[in-house]
Amino acid sequence: MRIFGILTLLCAFLSQASAQKISVNKYGLAVLSTRQQYDQLIKADSNQQLVNLEHYIPGIQKDVRYATTNNFTKQKLYTKTDIYMRLPAAKALKAVQEVLRRKGYGLLIYDAYRPYHVTEAMFKIVPNDLYAADPRKGSGHNRGVAVDLSMVNLKTNKPVAMPTDFDDFTSKAHENYNPADPVVAANRKLLRDTMKQFGFKGSTTEWWHYYLPDYKKYPLMDIFF
């Protein structure tokens, strides 16, 4: 009887420990924040795994601005420059890279998965959701299915001309802006058409921002990889 009682207690303890309930933050958002929670998630659904884009996509390039002071917050927000996305996003991006490569271009990543606390830090510095995602909602970047990117010309290995620099919050970065330079318009169109071909949706205000439309399938996360 006594052994049975101890066993019952032990089982209750173990099931509680393995359930690893995702806690809700002060905004009522469930944010996955431990490695165990992440391991459980990917055990249940391998599409939830975050993939290192540089390992997964041959030739992909990066300029992780948030690891430098060259970004709209003028502060270093990352200590590392690894770029990760969920497996379905990485697969789609790999297909984009392959199509672009045959046309003489390659992808240049500015930002991919972004831990939730970085979104909070950005909003503290610039509390305006025109410029930074509101932490009360979180961002597709926190879910690992949004990406900020441009292209490089493989002949020159330099970024192509786009309507603005990354994180320019003027109307020139908008989807409906008509660039005077036809080369700029063509570059933006090539990136946009190819991203859409493989299932990404674009932003109406940021030419560099793309995301998977089923982003709600992927929980907000606050783990550094």
In the complex with Zn ion, which residue's Cβ is closer, 72 or 177?
Answer: 72
In the complex with Zn ion, which residue's Cβ is closer, 198 or 215?
Answer: 215
The distance of closest approach from Cβ of residue 27 to Zn ion in the complex, given in angstroms and rounded to an integer, is: 20
- Of the ranges 101-109, 128-136, 183-191, 209-217, which one interacts with Zn ion (CB under 5 A)? 209-217
Nearest to 164 by CA among 143, 148, 153: 148
198 with 95: CB under 8 angstroms? yes
Q: How far apart are CA 173 and CA 214, in angstroms?
A: 24
Q: Is residue 65 a contact point for Zn ion (CB under 5 A)? A: no
The distance of closest approach from Cβ of residue 29 to Zn ion in the complex, given in angstroms and rounded to an integer, is: 18
In the complex with Zn ion, which residue's Cβ is closer, 22 or 107?
Answer: 107
The distance of closest approach from Cβ of residue 89 to Zn ion in the complex, given in angstroms and rounded to an integer, is: 13
- DSSP track, 82-95: --EEEHHHHHHHHH
Q: Compute the chain's Rg from CA coordinates.
A: 20
In the complex with Zn ion, which residue's Cβ is closer, 120 or 148?
Answer: 148
For Zn ion, which residue has the nearest CB?
Answer: 209
Q: What 3-state DSSP class applies to 137?
A: coil
57 with 19: CB under 8 angstroms? no
Please identify which residue in 65, 166, 209, 215 interacts with Zn ion, judged by CB under 5 A.
Answer: 209
The distance of closest approach from Cβ of residue 110 to Zn ion in the complex, given in angstroms and rounded to an integer, is: 8
Burial of 80 per CB tally in 10 Å (0-12, 13-18, 19+): exposed
Note the residues at the interface with Zn ion (CB under 5 A).
148, 209
